[in-house]
Structure 1
Amino acid sequence: MTVAKHLKLRIRQRMARTGERYSVARAHVVGTPDPGPVVDAGWTLRGGTDPDAAALAGVLAHQGVTGPAGPLDEALLLVIGGLGAGYILWEFDRDGSRIVVLGFGHSWQYFDRRLVATVDRLGLDATWTRTGGTVRAATALASTLAAGTPAIVWPDRYRLGVRHLPDVLDGHGGHPVVAYAVTGDRVHVDDRTLAPLTVPVADLDRARARVGSYKNAMLVVRARDTTVPDDRLRAAVRAGLTATVEQLGGSSTSFALPAWRKWSTLLVDRRAAKGWPTVFADRRGLLGALAGVWEAIEPAGMAGGHLRGVFADGLEQAAALLDEPAIEAQARRWRESADRWHDLAETALPADVPAIARIRELTAAITAAVAEGDAAAADRTAAAGELWALRAAHADTPPLTPDEVDGILHAMSTRLAGIVDAESAAVRDLGRVLTRSE
């Protein structure tokens, strides 16, 4: 095995163990200064955690749109867009699948609202399109890229093909990515990658057209070489923080902190129709649900995870922009919340069970191979094949005893209740800080 393969293995093992994103795990394993980002077809690959904020940060940097003090990074853009909360357990009769959906960004249930709000708050010149026909949408994207302008698009993950998902997930949607160049019949896509990643143009076109609720959506920032005024940036930051307080502090049992309070109860409720002891009484789909919880929470998953650590980084910047040290003090609260979410993910998918440990390793390997771009295409294919075969093998019989399952669900319930208490207190305190500083 080559040195490069040994390094990849160590990075992916650390991701599986810690839940970290590829770039973070790599920095810990390599232990040397970052050599700097890769530039591909004039586009700089910076990686990232949050699909929405990272995509916009990359586009703004490419377009030369900055704040008064420099680039607008992912963390600050996440603050401007806002945090959210959400939980849904879907049960599909057509195939008997049971899928857990967790939301961590503001208005996560709507594909575009967070980016719409972020762009509007910053006062950016941007164009949103929703072309009905696949051919017209493909032509619009091709002409945009030919002009040297990147575009944020929303492909269906299954149809895009990068992660080699099973067909049961066809049409389940996906997160935003940046299309930034075309070479021959392949389009260059940035999905928080650190090396060039390309997919067939035809695959991207089909993936963009798959999901009706955001069919062929595209966001193009037209602004170039401009600075967001200081007063505008400060107002955007304050608006984002206010939106976070209002969203998380709301009463919705689906899209605010009470959603997680409800989930905490449902994890152990044996009488409720949506209680986990009821839904998973036959144990079918339980391992998939627990694996889905781990992947949704941890940054090593597909969609960036809980986002609480990135938000904390953004709070530190927000404190300086608003000249409000009390906001910086709130960052510690959200880092503690990030740790609590990691503990919950560890509880849901315990690594001391060999089959479960392997599921974590393979999930992290796919995320790492996406970050590594085209050079890791074979790694993605192999890891995905083994992952879904392993999950299928345990779909009806999870490698856990009934007593172990009860212990996991009760521990998850306790940890989740603690998260809700901690975030509720943090939201109240942040709201008080914002009120005092008006």
Structure 2
Amino acid sequence: MTTAKQLKARVRARMARTGERYAVARAHVVGSAGDGAGPAVDAGWALRGGTDPDTAALANVLAHRGVTGPDGPLTEPLLLVVGGGLGAGYILWEFAHDDGRIVTLGFTHSWQYFDRRLATTVDRLGLDATWARTGGAAGAARALASTLADGDPAIIWPDRYHAGYWHLPPFLDGGGGHPVVAYASSGGRVHVDDRTLAPLTVPVADLDRARARVGSYRNAMLVVRSTGTVVPADRLRAAVLEGLRATVDHLGGSSTSFALPAWRRWSRLLVDARAAKGWPTVFADGRGLLRALASVWEAVEPAGMDGGHLRGLFADGLAQAAAVLDEPGLVAEAQRWREIATRWHALAETALPDDVPMIARLRELTATVTGAVAEGDAGAGERATAAEELWRLRAEHADAPPLDGDRLAAIRAEMSRHLGGIHDAEVAAVRRLGGLLAGA
């Protein structure tokens, strides 16, 4: 008989190998029948998991509040579509004060704005929702405590370092974070849903400090007031159409940082030795290169903290949008985006190849941390131990990745090739999607 510990180990090993999220990897390991149980329920809140932090948070709040569409739940994939769907973004930051070189990738519409997608989604659906931006920490703490005491879940934005359960190193203090749902408070701890499948709690003081850390969204809080509401069919149809059109407009833009040309630009910079921002130039001394490659894997794969490239989730949203809009052509487009998702997986595999033992260990440790977060408080000890080893290994190889110069050049060239193919495939997919919507 497989023990719970053995099952977790197998799930995390699959996450490291495939880049899948915990729930997906677990379903493959357990089998199609699963364990026969529904979602865990904690303090009246069902822990349903999810992929994209924004849309998973909202989908779980709406399910809790009994807000549905005319034909059933407003799912995470459909909410992703309503909020504007996909985006594209690439920036390579260089910081003189610590010689930092950080790769930032964006995969959703308006990814550079913390609140825009959620605000747009609730507005398009016509939901009653309130935002709070309390400047003072004490006032923000009281507002959250009062909201939870009233039985209302709140979407909040804590800094990951101060939230604590990701066990990040001090140099990531103030690095920001994604939205989570606070849904209860007891014993000096707040119950937090970060796409988790079991109860996860954070000390009140830590969460208050985490919410106040990042200036651009200090103490932000979104509370959906709608309850027992059915979004009318015409409203949902209009919301889905607006979201799809926003995807086409956004991805079809000309920005080389915030639209599809970003992938083409990144593809070129990976191999351009003459460009100031070319990877051969920026990483000529090898410093920071492993961090950059690891950040590509973590950002692209769903096994990372942010849910990955989301092309598969968008494909699921397109399939559901086909029914809402009575447009069967969207089903074929969904399949094309699933094929694009496989291209992104190939890019991530190239960036952080697991045939190198040390790199394979990095992937295993990253999956262990992410998987143990999904397991809630029960995984606290394992993720703390894994995170300690993870960041120690990354520090040991910060100045020189465990790959020789020829292998690194080959990796960059192959990544460039993959990105070129991704760019062309996404441009074609956006063009086809725009054509379908033209007559809607």
TM-score where L is the length of structure 1: 0.99
Unaligned 5+ runs, structure 1? none
Q: Distance in 2 between matches of 1:69 and 1:186?
A: 37
Q: Which residue of 1 aligns with 2:65?
A: 63
Q: Distance in 1 between matches of 2:160 and 2:258?
A: 23
**Structure 2 counterpart of 1:237, one-letter code:** V
Q: Which residue of 2 aligns with 1:10?
A: 10
- Does residue 1:235 correspond to 2:238, yes or no? yes
What is the CA deviation profile of residues 337-373 of structure 1, one whole-angstrom value per residue up to 9, with x for unaligned ones? 1100000000000000000000000001100000000
- Does residue 1:304 correspond to 2:301, yes or no? no
Residue-pair matches, total: 437
5 Å-filtered alignment, 1:184-195, equals 184-195=187-198
**Structure 1 counterpart of 2:80, one-letter code:** L
- The farther-off stretch of 94-103 and 284-293 is 94-103
Give the CA deviation at 1:91. 1.4
- Does residue 1:22 correspond to 2:22, yes or no? yes
Give the CA deviation at 1:187. 0.2
Give the CA deviation at 1:30. 1.0
Q: Distance in 2 between matches of 1:274 and 1:35?
A: 51
Q: Give the RMSD, CA atoms, in angstroms.
A: 1.0
Q: Which residue of 1 aligns with 2:98?
A: 95
**Structure 1 counterpart of 2:225, one-letter code:** R
- Secondary structure of the residue aligned to 2:60 is helix
Q: Which residue of 2 aligns with 1:43?
A: 45
Give the CA deviation at 1:386. 0.3
The equivalent position to 1:212 in structure 2, one of 208, 212, 215, is 215
Give the CA deviation at 1:3. 1.4
- Does residue 1:418 correspond to 2:421, yes or no? yes
- Does residue 1:350 correspond to 2:353, yes or no? yes
Q: Distance in 2 between matches of 1:166 and 1:350?
A: 24
Q: Which residue of 2 aligns with 1:163?
A: 166
The equivalent position to 1:435 in structure 2, one of 429, 432, 438, is 438
**Structure 1 counterpart of 2:429, one-letter code:** A
The equivalent position to 1:122 in structure 2, one of 118, 121, 125, is 125
Q: Distance in 2 between matches of 1:76 and 1:24?
A: 18
5 Å-filtered alignment, 1:243-282, equals 243-282=246-285
Q: Distance in 2 between matches of 1:390 and 1:261?
A: 32
Q: Which residue of 1 aligns with 2:142?
A: 139
What is the CA deviation profile of residues 209-266 of structure 1, one whole-angstrom value per residue up to 9, with x for unaligned ones? 0000001000000001110000000000000000000000100111100111111000
Q: Distance in 1 between matches of 2:171 and 2:70?
A: 47
What is the CA deviation profile of residues 145-188 of structure 1, one whole-angstrom value per residue up to 9, with x for unaligned ones? 00000000000111111111011111111100000000110000
- Secondary structure of the residue aligned to 2:167 is coil
Give the CA deviation at 1:2. 7.9
- The farther-off stretch of 25-34 and 120-129 is 25-34
Give the CA deviation at 1:432. 0.3
Q: Which residue of 2 aligns with 1:394?
A: 397
Give the CA deviation at 1:329. 1.1
Q: Distance in 2 between matches of 1:199 and 1:95?
A: 31
- Does residue 1:107 correspond to 2:110, yes or no? yes
Q: Distance in 1 between matches of 2:340 and 2:374?
A: 26
**Structure 1 counterpart of 2:16, one-letter code:** A
- The farther-off stretch of 365-374 and 95-104 is 95-104
- The farther-off stretch of 90-99 and 265-274 is 90-99
Q: Which residue of 1 aligns with 2:295?
A: 292
Q: Which residue of 1 aligns with 2:75?
A: 73
Give the CA deviation at 1:93. 1.8
The equivalent position to 2:363 in structure 1, one of 349, 360, 370, is 360
Q: Which runs of 4+ in 1 moved over 6 A?
A: none
TM-score where L is the length of structure 2: 0.98
- Secondary structure of the residue aligned to 1:351 is coil
Q: Which residue of 2 aligns with 1:336?
A: 339
What is the CA deviation profile of residues 309-339 of structure 1, one whole-angstrom value per residue up to 9, with x for unaligned ones? 0110110110001000011110011000110
Q: Distance in 2 between matches of 1:385 and 1:168?
A: 14
Q: Distance in 1 between matches of 2:306 and 2:164?
A: 16
Percent sequence identity is: 75
- Secondary structure of the residue aligned to 1:361 is helix
Give the CA deviation at 1:96. 1.7
Q: Which residue of 2 aligns with 1:53?
A: 55
- Does residue 1:315 correspond to 2:318, yes or no? yes
Unaligned 5+ runs, structure 2? none
**Structure 2 counterpart of 1:6, one-letter code:** Q
Q: Distance in 1 between matches of 2:216 and 2:97?
A: 21
Q: Distance in 1 between matches of 2:283 and 2:233?
A: 53
Q: Which residue of 2 aligns with 1:325?
A: 328
Q: Distance in 2 between matches of 1:65 and 1:108?
A: 25
Q: Distance in 2 between matches of 1:51 and 1:300?
A: 13
Q: Distance in 1 between matches of 2:322 and 2:72?
A: 16
